[in-house]
Amino acid sequence: MLEASRILFLAGFITAVFSLISVIISAYRKWFDKVTLISLTLVWLLVTFSLVLRTAATGHGPFTNMFEFGAAFTWGIITAGLFFWRQSRLRAVAVTSLLLAVALMIFALAQPAQAGYLVPALQQSTLLTVHVSAAIIAYGAFAVGFGVSLASLLPHADVKSIPASPDVLEKTAYQAVIIGFPFMTLTIILGSVWAEISWGRYWGWDPKETASLVTWLLYAGYLHARVIRGWRGKKLSVLLVVGFCAVLFTFFGNFFFRGLHSY
Amino acid sequence: MKIWNFITSLRLALILILIVVLLSVCSIFIVQVPHDIAAGSTDFYRWIDEFVRPNFGFWTDTLAFLGLFSVFHSPFFLLVVILLMLNILFCTVKRLPLVFATLRGAGIVSEPAAFPDQPLLRLNGTTAAALAMATTNTLLKKGWRVRETTLINGILVAADKHAFSRLGTLLSHLSLIFLVLGFFLSSLLGFSEDSFLVAEGTVREVGHGTGLSLGLITFGIEQWPDGTVKEYRSQVILYKENQPVDTAIIRVNYPLFYHGTKFYQSYYGSAPVIEVTDDASGAIAGGPVALVGTMADQENMRPVGRLVLPGTGLTAYIIGPALNTTDPVIGPGQVGVELYRDNTTAPSSWLLIDAGTSQENSGLVFSFPGTSYFSVFKVKNEPGIWIVWAAFILFTLGIVMAFFFPYRRIFIRLDQEEENVVVRYKSSGYSAFKGKDELTAFAEDILAKVPGKIVPDKE
């Protein structure tokens, strides 16, 4: 089953590459939009089944090493990308989601994929599943926000594949953040509850905890700036690009910093 | 007034948040002092010299002065957090009248500043009153709060929904203050001990005025097929004023709670049982020696524990096999013993003892019956923890209310112009309808209840 899971994931990767090419072609051939929709949906199905098989094989959610977390993060991005693309039909959403997904899939495929045994601290399957799932959904939504923000910073006249006004892109980014932010909040709260049960302290300024707080603060700052101060335009887009950089730093931080999350 | 406006300003909040972000980022990249070492203490400076100065060199003293090796315990960080909490509190208080006014319906009392010039539609064959009634009934059925106002030539229908979500923002901000309060309460009135070590077969007092003692009856390890640790558990007995009050098995994710005091399984290690006797006095010292320290040479890192030999002028350091390699000196089932005379820094003797054997040295007999374990717990009492959990719940509730039930307002102005009713529409704040489809469905719902037909727009 583990091997089947990896094959499905690899197939998902190949399909994602095809889908990315398709969405770029759709800027010049409109009917490729349908091909993109079908292929993106296929990517989602392949990655989903890959994760389901892996869960069945290991007996726990796919969240315990960087291959699994990379695959799960990919799922989050594809899910959010598919959802927002169907809502908005913005090519920027599809392009950036697929670009990020492909990059993350390359990263995941490069990681050791053997299913290891769980260390004692991770043997709390309810909290493990809910805490990390919330993070995946948040990261996926933030990825969409990042993608459309990046697109809004590009000069539109030169980019045929991103035909949308800055206002529409900005509004889509906001909608992505108002989904991602509550889930990021839930991730931190559930993480604190689990840390209290497992390590005896709900907050310890562990590098991963601190990085996730920085991410949360950046998005909280974005929401305050937009809703209360009425910020619009490039300032907000830059903030969302920085915010997603913080997400990536939180995700990859385990490679650089020791801490209680370095499993 | 200016100061009040600044203290309650969002600009200040954003600046303070930015400072917290920058300090947090610093803490990720700059090594932080362990929790159990107080900043500014002798141990702190020893830690700086041993672990920091080799890496930071010339910059060490400057960074230490700026408090960057202990960011979250520095007075500056504390000041920023307090200012942020005050800012949140004052901002919340300042916005309270608006929140309660919205709850009372102030949002739909007055007409909005301007309607679009272009009407939404014109209807012929009905009256403004009939259309207003149909609109009001439809809105009421959909859960809106509605207010009709008679105008000179028509009727204004104002409606809002989810006014309670204004409370959501209030809750989520106040809960941040509760969170910090809960933390401070625990810090001031509670205690926390990170490395409460109990060797197998021994009892240790918890202290801190609890009257509790914890005895480790047995310690066990379970392994996965590949040899990695699956689980480690401590079978314990808890005493209160020397009377047993509870027994439990403590393991990771399964702490022991007793009347506010909590025992969490932290880590463990081996504790060779060493017995030291001499002919004259009999037993000098004995029991499990927890190998909690480490000593390293170029290739080997070995666990080490200390055993004081009272009345002998000697201290024994018990050394286990290397953790990182195959030890060329101390094999499995063996311990090394280095003896130090008081006030010396070089060992006076060295022994290598096999399990189940004894050796004589310096007039003493060292026996090594075998190895047991020690277990390390985190023990704490947090009077403020319930405030922290309540804050989390309130924050979640606040976020759900504010994000998933956003406050919506609409204004529909119905002007009677001879035989036609001119309909203008404006929504305020968050978009009242989830796109054109919902607005269209809403309009069709109303139009089905009144006679008349839409007048096409003039070319």
User: Exposed/middle/buried for B35, CB within 10 Å: 0-12, 13-18, 19+?
Assistant: middle
Task: Indicate the residue of A117, A201, A228 with minimum beta-carbon distance to B228.
Answer: A117
Mean pLDDT to the nearest integer, B119-133: 86
Query: Model confidence over B166-181: pLDDT tens digits?
Result: 899 899 999 999 999 9
Q: Can you give the pLDDT at residue B429? A: 60
Query: Model confidence over A193-221: pLDDT tens digits?
Result: 999 999 899 998 888 899 999 999 999 99
Token digits for B385?
């923890």
Residue A138: which region, alpha, beta or left (left: phi > 0; alpha: psi -120 to 50)?
A: alpha
List chain A residues with CB under 8 Å of B253. 120-121, 123-124, 197-198
Q: What is the ipTM score, two decimals? A: 0.88
User: Which own/partner pairs from B368-371 qualify as long-range (CB within 8 Å, at least 24 positions apart)?
Assistant: B368/B272, B368/B273, B368/B274, B368/B335, B369/B273, B369/B275, B370/B272, B370/B273, B371/B270, B371/B271, B371/B272, B371/B273
Token digits for B316?
């024994």
User: pLDDT at residue A157 above 50?
Assistant: no
Rounded to a whole number of angstroms, the distance from the CA of A46 to the nearest CA of chain B is 31
The 3-state secondary structure of A191-224, one letter per residue: HHHHHHHHHCCCCCCCHHHHHHHHHHHHHHHHHH
Q: Can you give the pLDDT at residue B444? A: 80
Q: How far is CA A133 from CA A54, A259, B390, in A?
A: 15, 21, 23
Rounded to a whole number of angstroms, the distance from the CA of A227 to the nearest CA of chain B is 10
Candidate from A112-126, A128-142, B65-79, B379-393 with smallest mean pLDDT:
A112-126
Token digits for B187?
């810090």
Query: Model confidence over A36-92: pLDDT tens digits?
Result: 889 999 999 999 999 999 999 888 888 878 899 899 999 999 999 999 988 888 888
User: pLDDT at residue B376 above 90?
Assistant: yes
Contacts of A18 (CB under 8 A, 6+ apart): A39
Q: Is residue A84 within a helix (H) or strand (E), and if so which, with residue range?
A: helix A66-88
Torsion of CA B421, B422, B427, B431, to 10 degrees: 90
Q: Can you give the pLDDT at residue A158? A: 44
C-beta atoms of A257 and B27 within 8 A: no
State which residue of chain B sits closest to A118, comparing Cα positions: B230
C-beta atoms of B392 and A189 within 8 A: yes
Token digits for B274?
């060493």
- The percent of residues above 70 in pLDDT, for chain B, comes to 96
Rounded to a whole number of angstroms, the distance from the CA of A120 to the nearest CA of chain B is 5
State which residue of chain B sits closest to A122, comparing Cα positions: B253
Task: Indicate the residue of B13, B224, B396 with minimum beta-carbon distance to A117.
Answer: B224
Helices (H), B149-302: 165-189
